[in-house]
Amino acid sequence: MKIPYSFSVLRYIHDIVSGEFINVGVVLYAPKARFLSAICTSRYGRLSKMFSNINGDHFRQVSRYIQARLEEEGERLVDELLFEKMPVSVKDFTPRVLPIDDSSLQFSQEGYGLTENPQETLEEIYNRYIEKYYEKTERQSRSDEDVWKVYKKPMEERRILANLVPHQIIGNNYDHEFKYCWKNEQWHIHEPISFDLMEAGSITDKANTWVGRVTSLVDGGESFKLNVLIGSPQDEKLKSAFIKAQNIMHKMPCDHKFIKEDEADDFAESLKKEIEAHKG
């Protein structure tokens, strides 16, 4: 059964006169469920990009304080006797935590709705008003080393990481040392490559760089297989560039295979069996 709720958005208002603001938190109150809770971001990167003179440490402290105080009010609601009169709206709580004045942090007018799950609705409202904007402005690229951590963990769990050693492949005019290699009949190279970058052009450029690198290594005559441990882009808008990058990488003139992050466990298990079989 759906029950009524009210909510308010916490705003950082940089300039009262201009009215510029950024949403930084949400509080939701559902009296029939005796539910009151809040989610406030303590990240200030987006604020810093829009407003240069932000005291990040102070903002983080205040944001955490507001969320903690509202959560305390929520716990008090649960503990109160059932026959006690319940506050009507979220606005009955917000002034207790944040006085209505001309400070930079202020709660908006209430919004209303019906919900079957107050906690889920709180999270949905937070994602709608706050989180999705932080994802756009604060998304960062991942390095090859970041991607390696995804594949490294299942290898550590299977105690096979020590079998991977550095090895240098030498071409006629170029050489390159790979960090994670092991050898049976030929060298097996495990190379983490991040395509989780900020720009589409950077993704295809990186693929072209690798095709050129491998092309300059194979003429040395040493046989090797390249297992590309791929870090896929998290931004859906970069998926088409990622597909192009994979098509480019398939032009590498060596035996190669692409492994995706969701295949890391299976790949580590397969690698373990190969190493054990080779050792006998």
The reported pLDDT for the residue numbered 238 is: 87
- Burial (0-12, 13-18, 19+ Cβ within 10 Å), 134: middle
Q: Check if the beta carbon of residue 62 is closer than 8 Å to that of residue 105.
A: yes
Average pLDDT over residues 193-218: 93
Same domain assignment for residues 150 and 203:
yes
The label of the residue with tokens 């900020």 reads 198
The reported pLDDT for the residue numbered 135 is: 54
Which among 96, 117, 136 is the end of a domain? 136
Whole-number Å distance between alpha carbons of 22 and 24: 6
Full domain range(s) for residue 189:
144-279
Q: Check if the beta carbon of residue 10 is closer than 8 Å to that of residue 27.
A: yes
Sheet holding 255-259, edge to edge: 165-170, 175-183, 187-194, 224-231, 255-259
One-letter amino acid for residue 59 of the chain: F
Q: Check if the beta carbon of residue 59 is closer than 8 Å to that of residue 47.
A: yes
Same domain assignment for residues 92 and 168:
no
Which among 104, 136, 168 is the end of a domain? 136
Give Cα 273 to chain centroid, integer Å: 32
Same domain assignment for residues 87 and 155:
no
Same domain assignment for residues 125 and 155:
no
Same domain assignment for residues 275 and 149:
yes
Same domain assignment for residues 117 and 28:
yes
Same domain assignment for residues 157 and 131:
no
Tell me the pLDDT band of 44, cut-offs 50, 70 and 90. low
Residue 83 in this model has a pLDDT that exceeds 80 = no
Same domain assignment for residues 152 and 132:
no
Same domain assignment for residues 130 and 152:
no
Average pLDDT over residues 87-95: 94
**10 Å Cβ neighbour count for 83?**
5
Same domain assignment for residues 195 and 222:
yes
Tell me the pLDDT band of 67, cut-offs 50, 70 and 90. very high
Which among 87, 103, 136 is the end of a domain? 136
Q: Check if the beta carbon of residue 169 is closer than 8 Å to that of residue 224.
A: yes
Over the chain, what is the mean pLDDT? 89
Same domain assignment for residues 209 and 266:
yes
CATH label of the domain that carries residue 271: 3.40.1350
